[in-house]
Structure 1
């Protein structure tokens, strides 16, 4: 790491797009191939993460891109992430029910059928060829637009500023979440989104930043764990609410609803407590 910081990175951010983005696009295509062969829980999860990384990179380049193109590209990334996320959400629900011993033999087929329907519905969006074509076109078009401007923003200076902006947004949202006496679910969800964006930026740009952010990255990862666990419960509750047949097929719907409500409150308190401890 010391050697990497010894010489200043003199690249322009405009011409660095391909270096930063191509490995992520290639990873997304490979993940899509794996999911096409075996639609596993982890496979869907990894595709969603990769799309979020691309969304973060496009936020990084936002000041240099056309607003309409930015919005269109962002929509494509989100559609791929959502297609993977829908199947992943059903997997999380099943896992939570099984871990807590609340999943009966009657409820599992109901959820599995819905999960398979989500997989089928997302097959076109998640096909390796579709992802390769869409992401390749976005990268090619954006790269051409950036280089046609004949401008050069130093990559390191630009990266320092964008990371500083992301960290500022995160700290502001954390402060807002901690101002209320009672933990607020929406505020903590916003903290999670900004923390993930900042994490991906730090991990992607660490070699070119003018200073280290290791302690911040460690703190963010620690914060994201309970927030992610809270989100799992919230999303699963929403699936149960939106799909009454999941509960009606069980012999103890009230107990299941009660457990999720109790678990949501417990994880909400735990997330707020850790946030106050590590960021106050």
Structure 2
């Protein structure tokens, strides 16, 4: 079977099977820009479909997290191919991927907040009241996520988006080799990360928004390197490893910042205000520490 050939697209209600080979393992420098899109997108779509089906009856936290990751990878992939997809095809899909990622992430966010509150409870036992309340919020988030994921008919949407994108790419870049295209998009993602990292280095005090921008740019670059590594020159394992290390630091900071925002925006009728305030003070202190650790790591890669 010619894995670089044109892949037939599934019908809207076809059930994908998850491919065990990593995305991009079929690519070669002889592949066309249009051909590579299917081989990269289909395994990610397959995983998203399977995760969504499992989560319709299962509330596994890791499952929600992996579904969110799948939608983030699809956002990065559509961004990479946006010069040929055009705004009319890429923008609505990217927007919908972001919305679905947020829906899937609601449960995961309360899991993270709950774990942090348990840690805070060690220094203030009264925070146990908020831990219990956060567990209830998590249960509500599960119901909401399951309802939204089911009603959105994720499988039909993804198959339709994939079909439209592939049809457009075949009409616009079916004969263009992928290597130069992939290298150009990776370089652009690198420049975006460097620009956002330098913004952090120019400020004596790190800003949450700047660190969040670095985190998003780093994820996009890492996903693109993982997608295109088989066809672009040079070994990028070290870069991917460094990006993962930076992402871990930024992720630890983001967990604190997101949890603080989540708790501030939620209502806890059964929890005394002073308990909520005590938890927020603990989170604020932890956020300050993690912000410094994350900004140091970003400054290190920027230099």
Q: TM-score w.r.t. structure 2 length? A: 0.84
1:130 to 113, 136, 153: 153
Secondary structure class of the residue paired with 2:209 = helix
Aligned to 1:63: 83
Structure 1: segments with no counterpart, 5+ residues: none
Cα 1:272–1:150, aligned 2, differ >3 Å: closer, same or farther? closer
Q: Deviations for 1:112-168, whole angstroms, at most 9, x for unmatched residues?
A: 332222222222432398111110110011101111236422111110110011011
CA positional deviation for 1:84: 0.7
Aligned to 1:252: 275
Work out whether residues 55 and 146 of structure 2, in 8 Å CA contact, stay in contact via their aligned partners in 1. no
Aligned to 1:207: 230
For structure 1, which segment, 145-154 or 35-44, has the greater mean C-alpha deviation from structure 2 after superposition? 145-154
Work out whether residues 240 and 247 of structure 1, in 8 Å CA contact, stay in contact via their aligned partners in 2. no
1:49 to 49, 62, 69: 69
Q: TM-score w.r.t. structure 1 length? A: 0.91
- After superposing on structure 2, the runs of 4+ consecutive aligned residues of structure 1 that deviate more than 6 Å are none
Aligned to 1:17: 37
Secondary structure class of the residue paired with 1:11 = coil
For structure 1, which segment, 61-70 or 189-198, has the greater mean C-alpha deviation from structure 2 after superposition? 61-70
CA positional deviation for 1:54: 0.3
Tell me the distance in 1 between the aligned counterparts of 2:83 and 2:279: 47
For structure 1, which segment, 239-248 or 215-224, has the greater mean C-alpha deviation from structure 2 after superposition? 239-248
Aligned to 1:188: 211
Secondary structure class of the residue paired with 1:183 = coil
1:96 maps to 2:116: yes
CA positional deviation for 1:208: 1.2
CA positional deviation for 1:235: 0.7
Q: What is the RMSD computed on CA atoms of the aligned residues?
A: 2.3
CA positional deviation for 1:247: 8.5
Cα 1:38–1:11, aligned 2, differ >3 Å: closer, same or farther? same
Work out whether residues 29 and 178 of structure 2, in 8 Å CA contact, stay in contact via their aligned partners in 1. yes
Secondary structure class of the residue paired with 2:31 = coil
Structure 2: segments with no counterpart, 5+ residues: 1-23
1:228 maps to 2:251: yes
Tell me the distance in 2 between the aligned counterparts of 1:36 and 1:10: 40
Tell me the distance in 1 between the aligned counterparts of 2:270 and 2:206: 28
Work out whether residues 107 and 246 of structure 1, in 8 Å CA contact, stay in contact via their aligned partners in 2. no
Tell me the distance in 2 between the aligned counterparts of 1:176 and 1:165: 17
Aligned residue-pair number: 276
Aligned to 1:172: 195
Work out whether residues 41 and 88 of structure 1, in 8 Å CA contact, stay in contact via their aligned partners in 2. yes
Secondary structure class of the residue paired with 1:149 = helix
Tell me the distance in 2 between the aligned counterparts of 1:132 and 1:8: 28
Secondary structure class of the residue paired with 1:16 = helix
Secondary structure class of the residue paired with 1:182 = coil
Q: Deviations for 1:209-247, whole angstroms, at most 9, x for unmatched residues?
A: 122222221211111111001000011101111114178
Aligned to 1:141: 164
